[in-house]
């Protein structure tokens, strides 16, 4: 009976033309801030949850996650490479692949790396990269969201 209810629910979602989102995405707040009312760990929802997930996928290197060493893009390794147009294309395709495989709630439209008007504090000689990922949610394809990720060496 649970499969019938689930199937009916999916059919209703396909027909629904409402601009209101029918799905609510929830994740734990990884800063572990305390919720003021419940004194429990606060949650992030909807677009904020997906932005954090994309950011975490970009910043994760392969082998860093226990029990899932395949997750990650090794984007930090590009900080010490000679930055050429080929490096830029490789970074863009790596980010698109990692997010495409491990974040099914978002569809990437563009990955921008140090484009056009670069802020003066961004310098490739200092091993810093500014990455902007433009995406839309699978249940809201008309609105484009963006995530900014600053990659820099720690020392």
Hey, how many other C-beta atoms are within 10 angstroms of the C-beta on 151? Answer: 17
Q: What is the pTM of this model?
A: 0.71
Report the distance separating Cα 9 and Cα 86, nearest Å: 46
Structural element, H or E, at residue 89: helix 85-102
What are the residue boundaries of the structural domains of the chain, listed by start?
Answer: 22-152
Classify domain 22-152 at the CATH topology level: Nuclear Transport Factor 2; Chain: A, (3.10.450)
- 84-143 pLDDT, tens digit per residue, is 888 889 999 999 999 999 999 899 999 998 754 444 444 555 677 889 999 998 888 889
């Amino acid at each position: 009976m649970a499969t019938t209810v689930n199937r009916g629910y999916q059919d209703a979602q396909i027909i629904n033309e409402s601009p209101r989102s029918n799905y609510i995405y929830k994740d734990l707040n990884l800063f572990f801030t305390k919720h003021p009312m419940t004194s429990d760990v606060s949650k992030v929802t909807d677009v904020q949850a997906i932005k954090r997930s994309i950011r975490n996928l970009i910043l994760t290197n392969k082998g860093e996650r226990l029990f899932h060493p395949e997750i990650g893009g090794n984007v930090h390794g590009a900080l010490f490479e000679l930055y050429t147009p080929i490096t830029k294309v490789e970074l863009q395709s790596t980010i698109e692949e990692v997010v495409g495989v491990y974040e099914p709630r978002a569809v990437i439209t563009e990955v921008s790396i140090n484009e056009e008007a670069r802020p003066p504090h961004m310098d490739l000689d200092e091993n810093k990269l500014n990455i902007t990922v433009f995406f839309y949610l699978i249940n809201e394809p008309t609105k484009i969201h963006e995530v900014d990720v600053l990659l820099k060496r720690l020392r």
